[in-house]
Amino acid sequence: MVRMMEMFDITLWMKSKLNRKDFEFFATRTYAVWMERLRTVHNNDSKKKMINVEWCETMLCGYQEARTSMLISASTREHISSPSRWIAPPINQLRLDVDAAYNVNSNRYAIDCVVRNHEGQTLLAFGKQITKPPSIVSAELIAIEEGFQMTQTQNLRINQITSDSLMAVQAVTSPAEDFGYTGAFATKIRNLLANHAHLKLEHVLCTANGVAHSLASFAISSPSPFMWNCVEFPVWLVKLIIEDLIPF
């Protein structure tokens, strides 16, 4: 009990000395050390063990994501105001839809992007697996970044980027504070978009992002990255694109 109180006092002292990001890092490591000590004492195990760093990272990311979701405001109004189906961009403009997917069975993450014009014509579809990110929201942010970078490489001047992840979009467009790992990804995207005043990043419902979602799911099982233009699309993708169109 005495040692627990000492650790509590030390934690409070560290909280007064560190910024929140560093304190959260310290707190998760301290908790992991304490839990490992309890296991050693109660199991009568004298062997020294390494602290599971990956577990610490997962716990820290989970906490930061939960805090982020609490800080994001007006999510209900966003969902109500968002269109329920895919909407074409204005005449002579391009819309980039992005998404990320995770398969719990294979523990794989994938991202994708789809570029369409005001007539609903799909100009580009891209997808690939990615290295395990700190969280699914981070994966959504990676999808936004890589989707934008891909359009730049293909010389496509997009005017709108849409994602069905409200947390990812607001982490970029409404940075209330430092969101840890999520904040680092969001800041990078914000800097990328800073010189493109014509470009808007917006949130949409999942039902308005169906093609991107299907492509991300396909990318999880794809053995290699893919990039298709309008003359290369597989039949199943063409069918999805046609079903996704609504009267303009």
**Domains, the chain, ordered by start:** 2-73 (no CATH), 77-244 (3.30.420.10)
* pLDDT higher than 50, residue 76: no
Residue 73 CA, chain-centre distance (Å), reads 18
78: pLDDT strictly greater than 60: no
The total of other beta-carbon atoms located within 10 Å of residue 73's CB is 11
Mean pLDDT over 51-66 rounds to: 62
Q: Is the pLDDT of residue 248 over 50?
A: no
Residue 181 structure tokens: 């790992």
Q: Is residue 150 within 8 Å of 126, Cβ to Cβ?
A: yes
Q: State residue 52's pLDDT score.
A: 61
pLDDT tens digits, residue range 95-121?
Answer: 999 999 998 888 899 999 999 999 888
122 forms beta bridges with 116
Q: Write down the pTM of the prediction.
A: 0.70
Find out whether 14 and 22 touch, Cβ atoms under 8 Å.
no
pLDDT of residue 58: 65
Q: Given this model, what pLDDT does residue 211 score?
A: 93
Arithmetic mean of pLDDT, 210-234: 89
CB 114 within 8 A of CB 95: no
What pLDDT is attached to residue 15? 64
pLDDT at 17: 66
Crossing angle of the two packed helices 53-71 and 181-193, in degrees rounded to 10: 60
Contact (Cβ atoms closer than 8 angstroms) between residue 32 and residue 26: no
Nearest to 216 by CA among 106, 73, 98: 98
* 3-class SS string, the chain: CHHHHHHHHHHHHHHHHCCHHHHHHHHHHHHHHHHHHHHHHHCCCCCCCCCCHHHHHHHHHHHHHHHHHHHCCCHHHHHHHCCCCCCCCCCCCEEEEEEEEEECCCCEEEEEEEEEECCCCEEEEEEEEECCCCCHHHHHHHHHHHHHHHHHHCCCCCCEEEECCHHHHHHHHCCCCCCCHHHHHHHHHHHHHCCCCCCEEEECCHHHCHHHHHHHHHHHHCCCCEEECCCCCCHHHHHHHHHHCCCC
80 confidence band (pLDDT: 50, 70, 90): very low
What's the CA gap between 66 and 244, in Å, rounded? 33
* Mean pLDDT for the stretch of residues 154-174: 91
When pLDDT is averaged across residues 25-44 and rounded to a whole number, the result is: 68
Q: Given this model, what pLDDT does residue 197 score?
A: 87
User: Model confidence over 188-213: pLDDT tens digits?
Assistant: 899 999 889 899 999 998 889 999 99
What CA–CA distance (Å, rounded) separates 78 from 8?
41
Quote the pLDDT of residue 213.
92
Higher pLDDT, 152 or 29: 152
Percent above pLDDT 70 for the chain: 65
Contact 199, 229 (CB under 8 A): no
Is pLDDT of 77 > 50?
Answer: no
- Chain-wide mean pLDDT for the chain? 79
Q: pLDDT of 12-31, one tens digit each?
A: 666 666 666 666 767 777 77
Q: What pLDDT score does 60 carry? A: 64
